[in-house]
Amino acid sequence: MSSAIDFAVRTSAGGTTYGTVAGDGSNFIQTGLGDSISLNVSPQSVLSYTRHGNDLVIELADGQTVTLADWFDTPPGVQNHLYLSSDNMITEVFLTDLGNGVLGADLSLAAGGEKWSPLDSLRFGDSDPVVAAVGTGEDEPAGMGIFAPALLGLGGTGLGAAALVGGGLIIGGGGGGGGGGGPTFSRTIDGGGTTTTITTNTPQPGIAVSGTGIPGDTVAVTIGNQTRNATVAADGTWSTTFSGNTLPADGTHTATAVFTGNGTTDTLTGGGFDIDMTPRPSPRPKGSSPTARSKIWPNMPMASPCAAPPNRARPSMSPSARPASKAP
């Protein structure tokens, strides 16, 4: 049995409209440039994401499909955003083209609990109608009935990129999905697209790198010739620092973080760093530069400014050479 699904569309201008797809098997939602669309379903209800021409087709576990028309018909630099929301939880879906129209999905649970969020207009408080129609999977072996579509929705990555931890589905590979409203964690490194300059004039020169990940992950951060290790804490955050003897050598570097855990490994790129800790030579003391005369006549001795001028003999003239005196 297919259920009607509510949706919200927020345009690039900031206006939001709401609607419902009837649940009659095949449903279309027209999209525009820079739209953000939220469907009132949870990530576990999605069976697959596929591309048909410029359309995004989302197949749900109850057998119906939702087509976002012209989703991929966007110019360079313009991106549409897809969200899945239920029970006041909202998850952003990042799609990756795996070829032949098949799309992989990385999921990132949006932060909640703020007094106000720009995603509030896309957040649904109602439960997932697909879960209500299909069931929770409690009768399936190992309780994985409702999670199977979510794993298939990863574009074939399957269990190799996901693990059931404490009843919550944690997905690696740069994203995650939550099971039953549980926490979802994404692997990230802060500072992407930025460049920091560090020189001998920098007060307390050092580098702090941070991000998020799946709790228990090990993170190896490399900048230039230095590598520092960190472990993702229970709240999904990690950080490490480079300073003193661990400060990278001079040069232009980019931070990279290698995440390892839950049977998966990811490498992400962070910010850039221009490092120049080589001391500069001391400037020449004032007044020590060569004088103009020594540059022109380098071998000529310089006379003291107070020295008396040298005696010069006046030329003598013989009497015959002297001019005759004029008569008075």
Query: Tens of pLDDT along 105-116?
Result: 888 887 554 556
**Close Cβ partners of 13 (under 8 Å, ≥ 6 residues apart):** none
- Highest-confidence segment of 94-108, 178-192, 237-251: 237-251
Three-state secondary structure string covering the chain: CCCCEEEEEECCCCCEEEEEECCCCEEEEECCCCCEEEECCCHHHEEEEEEECCEEEEEECCCCEEEEECCCCCCCCCCCEEEEEECCEEEEEEEEEEECCEEEEEEEECCCCCCCCCCHHHCCCCCCHHHHHHCCCCCCHHHCCCHHHHHHCCCCCHHHHEEEECCEEEECCCCCCCCCCCCCCCCEECCCCCEEEEECCCCCCEEEEEEECCCCCEEEEEECCEEEEEECCCCCEEEEEEEHHHCCCCEEEEEEEEEEECCEEEEEEEEEEEEECCCCCCCCCCCCCCCHHHHHCCCCCCCCCCCCCCCCCCCCCCHHHCCCCCCC
Contacts of 201 (CB under 8 A, 6+ apart): none
Q: What is the structure's pLDDT at 284?
A: 65
Q: 306 pLDDT band (50/70/90 cuts)?
A: low
Residue 84 phi, psi (nearest 5): -120, 130
Backbone angles phi, psi at 57, to 5 degrees: -110, 125
Question: Stretch 26-49: mean pLDDT, rounded?
Answer: 90
Q: What is the pLDDT of residues 223-258, one digit of tens each?
A: 999 999 999 998 889 999 999 999 999 999 999 999
Q: 46-52 and 55-60: which strand pairing?
A: antiparallel
Ranking 12-16, 79-83, 192-196, 268-272 by mean pLDDT, the lowest is 12-16
Q: How far out from the chain centre does Cα 5 lie? A: 33
- Dist CA 237 CA 142 (whole Å): 30
CB 160 within 8 A of CB 264: yes
Q: Which of 85, 71, 81 is nearest to 37 (CA)?
A: 81
Share of the chain above pLDDT 90, in %: 36
Average pLDDT of the chain is 76
Distance between CA atoms of residues 242 and 56, nearest Å = 44
Half-sphere exposure in the Cβ direction for 176 (13 Å, CA): 27
Band (pLDDT 50/70/90 cuts) for residue 23 is: low
Q: Is the confidence at residue 149, as pLDDT, over 60?
A: no
**Residues belonging to the chain:** 328
- Cα–Cα distance list, 179 to 42, 88, 245 (Å): 9, 14, 44
Instruction: Give dist(CA 205, CA 76) in Å, integer.
Output: 39
**∠ CA 96-98-102, rounded to 5°:** 95
* Nearest CA among 97, 96, 93, 100 for reference residue 43: 93
CA 272 distance to own-chain centroid: 11
pTM higher than the cut 0.85: no
pLDDT beyond 70 at 156 = no
Nearest alpha carbon to residue 131 among 191, 164, 175, 86 = 86
Neighbours of 307 (CB within 10 A): 7
The tokens of 240 are what?
A: 């490490």
At residue 312, the pLDDT reads: 56
Is residue 42 within 8 Å of residue 80, measured between CB atoms? no
